[in-house]
Amino acid sequence: MPSPLYNTASIADMRLRARRRLPRAVFDFIDGAAADELTRMANEAGFARGRLSPRVAVDVSRIDTSVDILGFRSALPLMLAPTGLAGFYWPDGEIAAARAAAKAGIPFCLSTNSVASLEAVAGAVPSVKRWFQLYMLKDRALMWDMVERAEAHGYDTLCLTLDLAVQGRRDRDIRSGFTVPMKLSSASIADFAMRPRWLWGALRRPVAFGNFASVKGLGALSVAQFVGTLFDPTVDWAQVAEVRKRWRGPMVIKGILNPDDARRCVELGAQGVIVSNHGGRQLDQVPASIEALPQIADAVAGRAAVYLDGGVRRGTDLIKARALGADACLIGRPFLWGLSAAGEPGVDRVIDIFREELAIALALLGHPVFSAIRGDILVP
């Protein structure tokens, strides 16, 4: 793929490339969030607060960006977050992303709602460190089957997501009438005229949810209808505990914003929590991830790992999250922008940008070892 990505300087640049390539309704599905998108914006804006205090005259010729993630030595404090429908933006998108993660030496987390099935991803990229993300499904038999398939195919960490009891109300998607598969009416004439290749490919490609192959009669649904049909809104802590009991590997709980919930996760045996507001896509006006982080790190108090997603766009964001208590971060939209813009090389470039930005930041801060970063790197 000869795309001139070398002068795509930042994640924000990659977003613009994705915007040029995708039909508006599809771009908006990735980019948008709930209601006024205040939380989505706060996720990013929160990282612009706080100042890093650099030290000079430190030997920074050897930079170490690696961290331990539940026993795996990740080359970067970065994971690819579970995101639905990656294969809708680019053919075999989940596999492309998993390949990029494998090359970079970082974990990849497959979504319940992927286009490629978990078997297909594991088969195509056996070397990737892989997590499986689980939603609580109304059909528990289907759910436990999916869990067993994940275990059987080498997904060694389970990422249970709890912030999708119902689907958030995303105004952009309501306006565009976005469904999966996409209806022609959701794409404007301009979309057709300007992006014939994308539409041709997407309309021909039978988009299905690979992990739900056994479920019949899922036609063109809005995401809200999909969630309402399949996901279970009655989940309580007892049922979460049951998942913890049945899964043998490490389990991480995603979607935590409240310190008391974080404590519950630890108490029932979770190995980690992911501070997340689902990229602001579920409920607007909840705290930005980086704002919620310090209290949750305090509540967890080292008894489990703490991860964060939401608004991570720069190498310095990884450092700030670390300073405030996160062991590593996940990125969702950034890698989808790379994927949508240019497929696997686009995801490669996204990870490269984080790696370069992080390494240079560590050098210029006079803190060559990422895992040694502490809160005192922030100006009080």
Which residues of this protein are in contact with a copy of itself, per CB under 8 A?
A: 6-7, 9-10, 12-13, 35-36, 38, 48, 50-61, 162-163, 165-169, 171-172, 174-177, 233-237, 239-240, 255-258, 260-261, 264, 282-287, 291, 314, 316, 320, 356-357, 360-361, 363-366, 379
Nearer to a copy of itself, 128 or 274 (CB): 274
Give me the residue label for tokens 């990125």. Answer: 331
Q: Which residues pair with 77 in a beta bridge?
A: none
Residues 265 and 259: beta-carbon distance below 8 Å: no
DSSP string, 177-188: T--BSPPGGGS-
| CB nearer to a copy of itself: pick between 148 and 356 | 356
Asked whether the beta carbons of 97 and 346 are under 8 A apart, the reply is no
Please give the helix or strand (H or E) that residue 99 lies within, else none: helix 93-104
Alpha carbons 132 and 154: distance in angstroms, whole number = 9
Which of 130, 153, 278, 367 is catalytic? The answer is: 278
- Min. distance of Cβ 322 from a copy of itself in angstroms? 14
Least distance from C-beta 148 to a copy of itself, angstroms?
Answer: 23
Tokens standing for residue 327: 């062991």
Rounded least distance, CB 48 to a copy of itself, Å: 6
Residue in the block written with tokens 């949508």: 340
Q: Is 13 helix (H, G, I), strand (E, B) or coil?
A: helix
Residue 159 tokens read as 């990422």
Q: Residue 274 forms beta bridges with which residues?
A: 254, 307
Kindly report the length of the chain.
380
| Cα-based distances in Å from 243 to 32, 66, 108, 148 | 31, 30, 21, 12
Does the active-site annotation cover 278?
A: yes
- C-alpha to C-alpha distance for 86 and 208, rounded to whole angstroms: 11
Which residues are CB-contacts of 175 (< 8 A; sequence separation ≥ 6)? Answer: none
Q: Which is nearer to a copy of itself, 29 or 108 (CB)?
A: 29
Cβ-based nearer residue to a copy of itself, 172 or 303:
172
Beta carbon nearer to a copy of itself, 95 or 373: 373
| Separation between Cα atoms, residue 377 and residue 242, nearest integer Å | 40
Give me the residue label for tokens 């997407």.
Answer: 202
d(CA 104, CA 345): 12
Question: Which residue, 2 or 206, has its beta carbon nearer to a copy of itself?
Answer: 2
Q: How near is the Cβ of 128 to a copy of itself at its closest, in Å?
A: 28
Distance of alpha carbon 239 from alpha carbon 253, whole angstroms? 13
Least distance from a copy of itself to the Cβ atom of residue 356, Å: 6
**How near is the Cβ of 137 to a copy of itself at its closest, in Å?**
14
Residues paired with 345 in a beta bridge: none
CB nearer to a copy of itself: give 20 or 51.
51
Closest CA to 206 of 180, 226, 227: 180
**Token pair 């979460």: residue:** 240
Minimum distance from residue 334 beta carbon to a copy of itself (Å): 14
Which residues participate in catalysis according to the annotation?
Answer: 278
